Amino acid sequence: MKVVYLIAGLLMVHAVQAQQQEGRVVYELTRQLKMDIAGPDGMEQHMPRSFVVRVEVLFGNNQMLRRQVEDDNAGGGFPDDEGGGMHFRAFGMGDDGVTWCNFTEGRKVEQREFATKRYLVTDSVQKQNWKLTGESKTILGYACQQALTTRVGKRRMMTMENGNMTSKEMADTSQVTVWFTPAIPVSAGPDFEGQLPGLILEIDINGTPTYKATEVSSKVNIASIKEPRGGKKITEADFNQERDKLMQEMQRNEVGRRPRGG
């Protein structure tokens, strides 16, 4: 009997060790556009309500890299409008940066570009308070568990009035639903990286699908999972201040170039 228990134990250890520890995931990212538009009647009906891009997450060696996927359909076409929301595919709209995370060190570096300048925003992995609900479903053949959290942060609201576009920061509290798979015990994902005991395959924000995995592969170029280089090293708070300053300067320059009315 002891021999049977020993063999069963060895098989369980082997199964755990055989779980996928590296790979590549492709996600569709849907961004909702939140804008207040004052202009000719009906103008807001012609503005897109969301845009879709594809991002990939590479993981291995207790690290991960998130970046946008180049697509032949960049900037092309309007998919069928379902439910009254207009969609389009676009690139370079704030989601074309690179995020690298070292899970062992709990360190994250984001490479961002703004106004022709490149930045390296460094931070530690932030932890949310997660609640496991016990709900489960299958995504791309992987058994997933549901986790919930509330994220308190800030977001930018773009306002357009009489051809002038302005931006202001607003408090933003989001209800987040995440589906992760313990079958791939790596805390990687397109967001909330380093926080859950499995690969994240879907994320909903305030009930709206945001990230959805479309492909999972065990093949990955481990050498490409490396900390981004090149750019001004800066904290998140300092980056926000510098971005706001540059936006104000661009708005002043735009106003100064406009012809004066007679």
pLDDT digits (tens, 9 = 90+) for 196-235: 999 999 999 999 999 999 999 999 999 999 999 989 999 8
Within-domain flag for 88: yes
DSSP 115-145: TTEEEEEEEEPPPP--EEEEEEEEETTEEEE
Confidence at residue 2, expressed as pLDDT on a 0 to 100 scale: 42
Q: How far is CA 53 from the centre of its chain?
A: 10
Higher-pLDDT residue of 94 and 155 is 155
Structure tokens at 37: 């538009």
Average pLDDT of every residue of the chain: 78
Tell me which residue has tokens 């104000």: 248
DSSP state of 243: H
Q: Which of 76-80, 129-133, 197-201, 224-228 has the lowest mean pLDDT?
A: 76-80
Can you tell me the mean pLDDT for 232-239? 89
Q: Provide the pLDDT confidence category of residue 237 given band limits of 50, 70 and 90.
A: confident
- Whether residue 92 is predicted with pLDDT greater than 90 in this model: the reply is no
Q: Provide the pLDDT confidence category of residue 165 given band limits of 50, 70 and 90.
A: low
Within-domain flag for 80: yes
- Other Cβ atoms within 10 Å of 47 Cβ, number: 12
Confidence at residue 135, expressed as pLDDT on a 0 to 100 scale: 98
Higher-pLDDT residue of 189 and 126 is 189
- Whether residue 261 is predicted with pLDDT greater than 90 in this model: the reply is no
Q: Which domain holds residue 56?
A: 19-257
Tell me which residue has tokens 């932030």: 126
Count of domains observed in the chain: 1
Q: Provide the pLDDT confidence category of residue 77 given band limits of 50, 70 and 90.
A: very low
Higher-pLDDT residue of 220 and 43 is 220
Nearest to 206 by CA among 231, 159, 172: 172
CA distances from 144 to 12, 185, 197, 201, 233 (A): 20, 11, 11, 8, 37
Percent residues over pLDDT 70 in the chain: 65
Residue 247, C-beta contacts closer than 8 angstroms, at least 6 positions apart: 167
Residue 74, C-beta contacts closer than 8 angstroms, at least 6 positions apart: 89, 90, 91
Within-domain flag for 102: yes
Confidence at residue 185, expressed as pLDDT on a 0 to 100 scale: 97
Q: Which of 62-66, 237-241, 248-252 has the lowest mean pLDDT?
A: 248-252
- Whether residue 245 is predicted with pLDDT greater than 50 in this model: the reply is yes
* β-pair type (35-38, 142-161): parallel
Within-domain flag for 10: no
Structure tokens at 198: 């499995």
Nearest to 28 by CA among 176, 181, 203, 155: 203
